[in-house]
Chain A
Amino acid sequence: NAGVTQTPKFQVLKTGQSMTLQCAQDMNHNSMYWYRQDPGMGLRLIYYSASEGTTDKGEVPNGYNVSRLNKREFSLRLESAAPSQTSVYFCASSEFRTVANYGYTFGSGTRLTVV
């Protein structure tokens, strides 16, 4: 009953450091996504993976890379962190079965601060 699991929950980085955010889902969904949420704003799409082996850029991909390791796992990497990347990061997964039943499931988020 885990759904979408993100690690870590909190992280503080120094400018220029690198790190990888991990995401795993146990619902056998084909599609996975990474979003960021800045204070007082909605979520914006960074990258997504429609299916295993494919990745595509979203609205705000600069400064990030992703890897769809297998059907379950989708990681987000910051190669050289910048203060502008301070945000809360959400991973999500989805499966388009029918329009009526379609929906996204979100993880609980990773709060990242870059100092």
Chain B
Amino acid sequence: GIQVEQSPPDLILQEGANSTLRCNFSDSVNNLQWFHQNPWGQLINLFYIPSGTKQNGRLSATTVATERYSLLYISSSQTTDSGVYFCAVYRAAGNKLTFGGGTRVLVKP
């Protein structure tokens, strides 16, 4: 099956810093989602982004489908950005979403 790898596995940031999270995937995909899992365990959809760039406030994401990777940018990080960020890819053949291992982010005040 498709492999999804995220890097780095852990990230510690000072409040106000910027960061980039990466997601590599091993085969072509029909869609890609970025999720934030907050410290209470809730999974919150950030973006669905099969290609191109999207922005939502301090977060933005870029997917380069031809090169099989996606990037999530966090600018001016806040303590509420702490949690785990997951990339997940969808393939219509199989009709299922496959998750990467996540990047654990801690933003210190």
Residues of A within 8 A of B (CB): 31, 33, 35, 41-45, 48, 50, 58-59, 88, 90, 92, 94, 96, 99-106, 108-109, 111
Contacts and interface: CB of A to CB of B under 8 A. Distances in A.
Interface of B: 1, 4, 30-31, 33, 35, 41-43, 45, 48, 50, 86, 88, 90, 92, 95-102
Given A42-B99, A104-B90, A106-B35, 14 more contacts: A31-B95, A35-B99, A41-B101, A45-B98, A59-B1, A96-B95, A99-B50, A102-B90, A103-B33, A103-B45, A103-B48, A104-B97, A109-B41, A109-B42
Contacts, number: 61
B61 to A, nearest CB: 13
Contacts of A96: 92, 95
Contacts of B101: 41-42
